Structure formats: C-alpha cells, structure tokens
Amino acid sequence: MTSIAETVQTVQEQLHQEAGIDFTKEIKHNLSVAQLYEDALKNEPGTFLSSAGALITSSGAKKGRSPRDKRIVEEETSARNVWWGPVNTKMSESVFMVNRERAVDYLNTRERLYVLDAFAGWDTKNRIKVRVVCARAYHALFMRNMLIRPTEEELANFGSPDFTIFNAGQFPANRYTTGMTSTTSVSINFKRREMVILGTQYAGEMKKGVFTIMHYLMPKAGVLSLHSSANEGPDGDVSLFFGLSGTGKTTLSADPHRYLIGDDEHCWSDDGIFNIEGGCYAKCIDLSAEKEPEIFNAIRFGSVLENVVFHPQTRLVDYTDKSITENTRCAYPIEYIPNAKLPCVGGHPKNIILLTCDAFGVLPPVAKLDQNQAMYHFISGYTAKIAGTEEGVTEPEATFSACFGQPFLVWHPTKYANMLAEKMSQHKADAWLINTGWNGGKYGVGKRIALKYSRAIIDAIHSGELAKQEYEEYPVFGLQIPKKCPNVPDNVLHPKKAWTGSAAEFDSMVQKLAKLFVDNFKLYQDQASAAVINAGPKV
C-alpha cells in the first residue's frame, strides 16, 4: 500500500501542476481529529475546547451563508442547463480565473495548508471525489465531518479529485473585480470542476457548495438530488421529508423507532436513496438534552461548535445565548447519532412527506396528494414566517422556496419535479402534505398544531393506517383530507371545522393563501405541464 509520505507527495505534485501551489509548502493531508484539534488550538485565535470535548471555533465576520455573493461560471459545457436568474448569477470565466489566482496566491502565503480528500455520496456508483484545500484546521475538520471519510485503501487509491474547493476565506475578494458585489465571493466552475471561496470563513459555504455541485451533476447523470431528510423503518420502508426551516423536518424525521439515513441532502438513484453527506450540521440555538438528546450527545470529541457562547472557566456552552448569532451550529459525523443507518443508503421511498408551517391556519394537518399535486407543492415549497411589526401586531408572511431548497438549485425547478414524479410513479410512492403550523385560526388567534398530533399523523402514514381512511375533498385547494386519523381529534383534521372565527373570515383567508400560491407559481408555469398547473388552488 502507498505510504503516507508518498500520498502527500502525489497531492503536492497535483496541486503544483493544477493550481500553482508552492512545492515548499507544508501540506497536511487528511489529518486525524486529534491532529486537527492540536493545530486549531495552537494556531487559530478564538478556538477553545468545550467541556464535552467539542472544538469551539469562530467563523469570523460572517455567521451564515452569503447567497448574494454566490456565482456560477457561464461556460459552454453547462450554460444551457443552468437556471439563470436570482439564484444562479453569471460569472465570466476570466473573472473566475482572477479570483482563483487571488485565492491560490493567498494560500501560497500560508505556512501550512490542509488538504482533505473525501467523498460526496454514499452510493459507490454515484459518489464524487472531493478535494478541499484550505488554510484553517477548523475548515479541514468541518469538512472531514461533513464529507464521507475514505478508508486507508480508498485514500491510497484516491487519484485525482472530481471537484476541488480552494477555500481562501480569510482573504477578501477585490470589490473592483467585474461583477463583485462585496469582498465575499463564492463561485463554482463546472467546466474546471472547481469552487473558489474568498472573503468568508463560514464553513457552511463548503457544505452547501458541495450540495450545489451534486444538484447539478446528479440530475445530469439521471439521479435525482433532493434537499430532504430520510429515515427507514424496521421493515426497510423509506420516507423522505421535505421542509423549510421551522417546519419540523429535523424533529419529525428523528424517530426512535426508525433509522436515520440522513438529515439534509439525499439522492434517489435506480437503486434507491443515498445520503450525500457523512455528517450532520445541526442548529444549536436553545438545544437541550431533554428536547433533542441525540444531537446534544453528538457534541463531543470530534465535533465542531461554531460561534457559541461558553463559560470562561468551565467551558460549558450556553445554547440559549444568541449574542454572537442565532445561527449557532455544530458539525459532527453521522455515526455520532445512535440510530443512524450505516452505510447511509436505503431502498426506494414508500412515502414522500412535504412539510409546511402554515401561519394562515387554513391548510389541513394532513392531505394525501396525487402525482400532479405532489409536483405542484414540491415546486412551490411553501411555508410561512411570522413577521413582527412596530406595534407588536404579527401577520403571517408567505415564503416560497422552489423544491424546498431554492438557493441550491442549478437546473430549473421543473427538472427536479419531473424526475420526482417519474420516480414516484415507478416505485408507487405515496405523497403527503403535512401542516405543522396553525389550526383554528391564523397565527395569534389559532393554536400551533400539537407536536403529538403531527407525530401521530406520521405514525399513521408509516403503519399504513392513514392510507386506508375515508377522504373528503378540501375546496379551493382540491386536497384530499382524511375524515379520521388514529390519535388525532376529528375536528383538528379539517381546517374549516377547527376554525374559531366567522365563516367569512375563513373563506377570505383561504382565498388569500390560494392567491399567493397561484401568483408564486407564475414563475414556473412556462415550463410546467397543464396538469401540474391545474393541480394548484382555484381562485
């Protein structure tokens, strides 16, 4: 087998030939967790050890992703496939090379560089080889957790990567470079198979960068990429959960009676489902051992805690403290979750669950969707945010994110929706719309649907009980609502029966939300079929 020294020399030669990385540079290749801890604690200010053994780090000025600074290079191999617009902003090949040169020049000024070779995708037939080149041990450890760690043999035979990330996040982009909107730049070049990061040390840019890359390459290869969580029952039945922030995706897919395949990014191939990642990137705000024991206990040696506040002596983390940011996070290997399924692969999904948190109080707690409705609601990606006003009055605000992950789409949303419909039809998967939001009235009047009812609905889906129930059509939206569901009160199941206000108020709210759906879908109807357009609400 190839020795460590030989592997490092091969990597040095590749980086010198392909990127001009200095030959004299100390390359720290696929270091162990302990080595990365030592380097981070020794060389990176603002790095500490938590009382639980996790590495506490700072992501610098940026505490979250910078979607406005993301660019896709316009080049002949991919230009016709990319959904250009607000999500995918064009960058010329020459500007990409300017930024790439700037990143490499910066990396060449560093005493040491960290190089991680790992995989994206648990399916050995569809995985890609990813190389991360960075100057911070924190970034190397983060991606060691988030990608799939190679065995010794796989590392010895790794060869050339399929995609390389040059992370020079400590160094700014030049604002006078054509097309730059700030000192931050995150750009992907599909022809060169490279990603360049300048002006942000937020590690989530690398995670979502890899997802964006997979979101392009996988559909191109006939594999559907999805922003979803996935779990598997004792009988091997797989469920996919889609949902934006605050809908309960993480909570409802973490089921003690089912195995977790993954919490965020998956692909659906001809063989079934596979997780893209080797780890989880969990929100930590208000985390407690009582509410989320699996995540709480995963924060230990090997995990990376970002931007958290801790006690200066005891090093106990205060997860309620939002003074640095509300977006406190932890990255840990998926095997730190006790009921994770390893390898993270499963069969073809039996249930597709679309989660929404409707603050208007008019969507049912559960509805069974036909194929066209599933495509319509998948493309819409609806939930509602609660926005405060100066007077303290709160009004729900509709949010639509195509395919429940618009910031990471590369192809047009209908590409993913058509592939999903094809897979659902081929494997006879059932689709469900589940509202974990308000019931009995809008936010401020009605009540949030109890978590125990949402769990009971999911349990009834998994047991097959819900599919056997009698259904009635819900007007305007045309959804099929079950008349009964085990352990859920009948009046909760139908929004009109649960409504506490007047019938006129209810009808007005239904029309209001229906119109928002219809207006939003106008963005996609040029590439959607008539059947899918007609599956939406009628106003």
Catalytic one among 32, 124, 245, 508? Answer: 245
Pick the catalytic residue: 62, 136, 215, 227?
227
Q: What's the mean pLDDT in 107-112?
A: 95
> Is 383 an active-site residue?
no
**Does the annotation count 380 as an active-site position?**
no
Residue 247 Ramachandran class (φ > 0 left, ψ -120 to 50 alpha, else beta): alpha
E strands present in 104-206: 112-120, 128-134, 163-168, 185-189, 194-198
Residues facing residue 398 across a β-bridge: 384
Amino acid at 372: N
- Is 117 considered catalytic here? no
**Is there a contact between 472 and 483 (Cβ–Cβ < 8 Å)?**
yes
| Domains 25-225+280-336 and 348-534 alike in fold | no
**Active-site residue, from 57, 184, 250, 356:** 250
Q: Which residue has the tokens 């009055």?
A: 393
Residue type for position 428: K
Question: Of 249, 266, 341, 350, which one is the catalytic site residue?
Answer: 249
- 427 tagged catalytic: no
Domain ranges of the chain: 25-225+280-336, 348-534
Residue carrying the six token digits 């997802």: 211
Q: Are 166 and 133 in contact (CB under 8 A)?
A: yes
Name residues whose C-beta falls within 8 Å of residue 381's C-beta, 6 or more positions apart in sequence: 242, 244, 400, 401, 402, 403, 404, 405, 406
Pick the catalytic residue: 71, 102, 329, 415?
A: 329
What pLDDT score was predicted for residue 389?
A: 28
Instruction: Spell 329-367 as b/e; 16+ CB within 10 A means b.
Output: bbbbbbebbeebbeebbbebbbbbbbbbbbbbbbbbbbb
Write down the catalytic residue from 25, 65, 129, 136.
65
Strand runs labelled E in 151-308: 163-168, 185-189, 194-198, 224-227, 229-232, 238-242, 259-262, 265-269, 272-275, 279-283, 304-306
Rounded CA-CA distance 355/241 in Å is 7
Q: Per-residue pLDDT averaged across 316-324, rounded?
A: 96
264 is catalytic: yes
Of 117, 264, 358, 430, the active-site residue reads 264
pLDDT tens-place string over residues 50-99: 999 999 999 999 999 999 999 999 999 999 999 999 899 999 999 999 99
Percent of the chain's residues with pLDDT above 70:
98
Read off the pLDDT band of 473 (50, 70, 90).
very high
Structure tokens that stand for 149 in this block = 């760690």
Which amino acid, one-letter code, is at 101? E
Q: Over 70: is that where the pLDDT of 132 sits?
A: yes
| Catalytic residue chosen out of the listed positions 144, 208, 215, 423 | 208
Q: Match domain 25-225+280-336 to its CATH number in 2.120.10.30, 3.90.1150.10, 3.40.449.10, 3.30.200.190.
A: 3.40.449.10
In the predicted model, is pLDDT for residue 25 greater than 90?
no
pTM (2 decimals)? 0.94
Indicate whether 234 pLDDT > 50: yes
Read off the DSSP letter of residue 61.
T
Was domain 348-534 assigned CATH 3.40.50.300?
no
Contacts of 243 (CB under 8 A, 6+ apart): 249, 354, 355, 356, 357, 383, 404
452 is catalytic: no
Q: What is the pLDDT of residues 145-201, one digit of tens each?
A: 999 999 999 999 999 999 999 999 999 999 999 989 899 999 999 999 999 999 999
